[in-house]
Amino acid sequence: MNKKKYNPPQKLSLNANYKSLKDYSEEHKRSLKENDVFWSEKAERIEWFKKWKKVSDIDFTLPKIEWFIGGKLNVSYNCIDRHIKNGKGDAIAFYWEGNDPSESKKLTYNQLYDKVCRFSNVLKNLNISKGDRVCLYMQMIPELPIAMLSCARIGAVHSAVFGAFSSDSLRDRINDSKCKLLITQDTGVRGTKNNIPMKSNADVAIEQSPSIENTIVVMRTGEKVHMKNKRDHWWHEQIDSVKPHCEPEHMDAEDPLFILYTSGSTGTPKGVMHTTGGYLLYADYTFSSIFDHKSSDIYWCTADIGWITGHSYITYGPLSNCATSVIFEGVPNYPDFGRFWDIVDKYQVSLFYTAPTALRALMKEGDSWAQSRDLSSLRVLGTVGEPIKEPEWKWYYKIIGSKKCPIVDTWWQTETGGIMISPLPGATPTKPGSATLPFFGVDPVLLDENGNEIIGNNKNGLLAMKSSWPGQMRTVYGDHQRFKETYFTQFKGYYFTGDGAKRDEDGYYFITGRVDDVLNVSGHRIGTAEVEGAIGKADGVAEAAVVGYNHDIKGQGIYAFVTLMTGIEVNSAIEMSIFKTVTKEIGPHAKPDKIQFTSGLPKTRSGKIMRRILRNIANSNLEDMGDISTLADPSVVDKLIKGDQK
């Protein structure tokens, strides 16, 4: 591949936690060789009420994954009380920047303590105790991390549902984990949308969610919403009538901390379950190392807290490090395309973490939006969620970072809890498009189709992990068998990521994308089976097959091939009804970008859809369709290429 390397800036390396590639390599080797010793040293970063008896107990064949067995701790205590005890109570935990530039707030660690303790008492008053599940359906408001920390404080398990999900998706997630309480807000604001109906979506969901006993509603906009007597409670009213202290529950290292649903290759999302000790340590230590965090830094991650990036790198990782972060409610293009850079300028952000899709969208608008703001505070730039291509990498490096900030391209997954493959900003030379090298304690391998390890570099393969790390998910909530089948069955003895990757001559990893039926649309993971299921519910639709195609801004776009029932005409009304159905079933982010109506889908004689052919058509790779002789009706391919609808 032989791509140009970009060395870490000397000034940064000098004061960095890891200063050279040699530092990194030695520590990485040691971290694998003496894995338990390594992690037990690192575990001293956080405060334990009781020390663990055994560092790890791992068996991928069962699978059984346990870290810091017998240890007791509390995540909210580690993220708040610990810092106050160390005299940092007046440090800012969060700057909150509203959707409208005129709205902002700040919250010190002392204030966060008060809010979290009070809200923990509110939860207790509403009959929530250790082990109960609490669903969070909110936008980017300070009450969201406050609610997460309060759950953690009393040992309740939170399940956050991204605020764009529809009421049907919300209902299914609530029911899967039988949440007792739902926390939401009246309405939400995002960009030009100033009335996102959070509470009324929640109302529809709860009608079919028998486990919900109560709801708590944050008044964000003051829009009128229906409040059901005795069931629905206003956050601000509840919080005033409780004590400002709440003892943190002593949690076992392996007690669940949260569930977060993510899409897989089947129609139903899985509840990824993370536990207390290992997850916190992994989020804490990766944040500190990969962003080279110092107490003087102002950190901003633009992700939504409703996804894993927000859990690990807005809430838990930064707070555990006593960081000062920005939480942003809005979008990059409101009120104009300079908004991100206004915020960097306003708060003097030094560590900035965003998604390639946002960079592509901003790059398209020209350089002047960034160049007219003061971005000199920036020190480290990060990306996450999807492969970053060379043009946006270089734009980020030159225009945003003025060639003085290393870019940490961080590869990881909801399942991994924290970053797995990434440069260390003071140590690792970077190459555009590469997440570079594994983090400490991470042992990636490339496998061939038969599960043999591919030795040597300059090879493509399937990305798997040979050993566990503390942040690894522990189970699929309520379905350990599915956990086993999804990640540990295809290749015995490994955790299989579902991604393909290439390793170059320096051992650097270039992630090539999912090898299963999962799409990555603007950094959001969407299962093709889910979208197909949703389209299939639209009136008149007989069958749908969904594939990804290269999209300039979104990375991948959603391309749907749809057959209609006999006698149903192709027209714009049917297209509208498909959009509406997908929005209702999943949410607007899963709407197809393109729909091609067709009289037939390419199926094998056993009835399996050959997606390879559809992917080629969607991406206009028409030259080589490969072997189509196994199709029941090979003439379908020509019709699809010509776009015949009949």
Q: What is the DSSP string of 453-476?
A: B--SSSEEEEEEESS--TT---EE
CA distances from 252 to 83, 86, 116, 328, 477 (A): 21, 24, 20, 33, 18
Binding site for ligand WT7 (CB under 6 A): 262, 308-309, 384-387, 409-414, 435, 497-499, 511, 513-514, 520, 525
Of 308 and 361, CB closest to ligand WT7: 308
As to burial, measured by CB atoms within 10 angstroms (0-12 exposed, 13-18 middle, 19+ buried), residue 221 is: middle
Select 385 or 557, whichever has its Cβ closest to ligand WT7: 385
Closer Cβ to ligand WT7, 180 or 311, answer by number:
311
H-only helix segments in 560-634: 572-585, 611-618
Shortest distance, position 643 Cβ to ligand WT7, whole Å:
30
Report phi then psi at 484, rounded to 5. Answer: -60, -50
Which residues 6+ apart lie within 8 Å of 322 measured at CB? 83, 86, 88, 91, 109, 295
248 or 527: whose CB is closer to ligand WT7? 527
CB of 417 to ligand WT7, least distance (A): 10
Minimum distance between the CB of residue 550 and ligand WT7, rounded to whole angstroms? 14
Instruction: Please state the closest distance from residue 557 (CB atom) to ligand WT7, in A.
Output: 16
Whole-number Å distance between alpha carbons of 7 and 35: 29
Identify which of residues 160 and 636 has a Cβ nearer to ligand WT7 in the complex: 160
**Of 535, 532, 525, which is closest to residue 547 (Cα–Cα)?**
532
Residue 248 or 498: which CB sits closer to ligand WT7?
498
* C-beta separation of 623 from 594 below 8 A: no
Is the distance from CB of 336 to CB of 369 less than 8 angstroms?
yes
Output 413 or 581, the one with its CB closest to ligand WT7. 413
Contact in structure between 267 and 530 (CB atoms under 8 Å): yes
Residues 6+ apart with CB under 8 A from 242: 118, 121, 122, 125
**Phi, psi dihedral angles at 362 (to 5 degrees):** -75, -40
- CB of 103 or CB of 552, closer to ligand WT7: 552
Q: Measured between alpha carbons, how far is 51 from 34 in angstroms, rounded to an integer?
A: 19
d(CA 223, CA 199): 10
Task: List, in order, residues 6 or more apart from 479 with CB less than 8 Å away.
Answer: 270, 271
- In the complex with ligand WT7, the residue whose CB is nearer, 180 or 502, is 502
Which residues, at least 6 apart from 571, have a Cβ–Cβ distance to it below 8 Å?
none
Q: How far is the CB of 107 from ligand WT7 (least distance, A)?
A: 25
Minimum CB distance to ligand WT7 smaller for 387 or for 470: 387
Give 643's DSSP letter.
Answer: T
Q: How far is the CB of 609 from ligand WT7 (least distance, A)?
A: 22
* Neighbour tally for 49: CB within 10 Å: 13
Closer to ligand WT7 at the Cβ: 244 or 391?
Answer: 391
Among residues 307, 286, 339, the alpha carbon closest in space to that of 520 is found at 307
How many residues appear in the chain? 646
Provide, rounded to whole angstroms, the least separation between the CB of residue 303 and ligand WT7: 7
